[in-house]
Amino acid sequence: MDALGFRCQNVLCLGLGSPSASRDARAQLAFLLTLCEDLRIDRAHVSVYDPVFAEDDIALLDALGRARFRAVAPTLAFMPHCDLRLYENLLRENWAGGGAGLSQLVLIANRLSDYAESVPARKMAVEHPCVWRLAPYLASRNLPACTAYPTAFNNTAVQYARVGEVREDLWQLPPPTDEFDGRSGGGVGGSGAAF
């Protein structure tokens, strides 16, 4: 990411799953910790949220050191295999001002362009307009295959928005529907811990 000229200050991790119950979640957590070390991101600036965290998971993450999450850009959003609604909510939250917030995000997540290509356009335009509109303007690089944990990182890519290339009319979004507005269980919430 340094090669992109993007120096992350914060990490937001959503959808990790339960490290105490899932081999893939343990691999994803190890990847995240190694990435933070390589990028010299202080663990105090890493926040992890997931509605499935068990008490053991929160205790494990608390043992790594607790800090208060603050949504400050530039931010790496690590969202392995999240629900499409979570991606939509994150993008929508950062959409205003011609995507000013989007220019401060790097995603490590499912390839969003795959959703735009596989879900009917009418459904995407109504239910996930941010993903649908932004997908053609995402720079994306797939993570290499991981034979030891093939399902932990499949379909995962490093992605960022080429905000300057987005057509001006695409910044005008329809109002969110109640189901997809980020206030109905799809946003940052659930049990959380910050290392």
Q: Cα angle at 112 between 100 and 44, to 5 degrees?
A: 60
Predicted pLDDT at 61: 56
Q: Tell me: the pLDDT tens digits for 119-155?
A: 999 999 999 999 999 999 999 999 999 999 999 999 9
d(CA 167, CA 14): 29
Quick one: pLDDT at residue 71?
Answer: 43
Mean pLDDT calculated for residue range 44-70: 61
Task: State the Cα torsion 131-134-135-137 to the nearest 10°.
Answer: -170
Task: Name 158's bridge partners.
Answer: 108, 141
Q: Provide the percentage of residues in the chain whose pLDDT is more than 70.
A: 76
Residue 41, pLDDT score = 93
What is the rounded CA–CA span in Å between residue 134 and residue 98?
12
**pTM of the prediction?**
0.80
Residue 81 CA, distance from chain mean position: 9
Instruction: Answer for the pair 49, 190: CB distance below 8 angstroms, yes or no.
Output: yes
Predicted confidence at residue 83, as pLDDT, reads 85
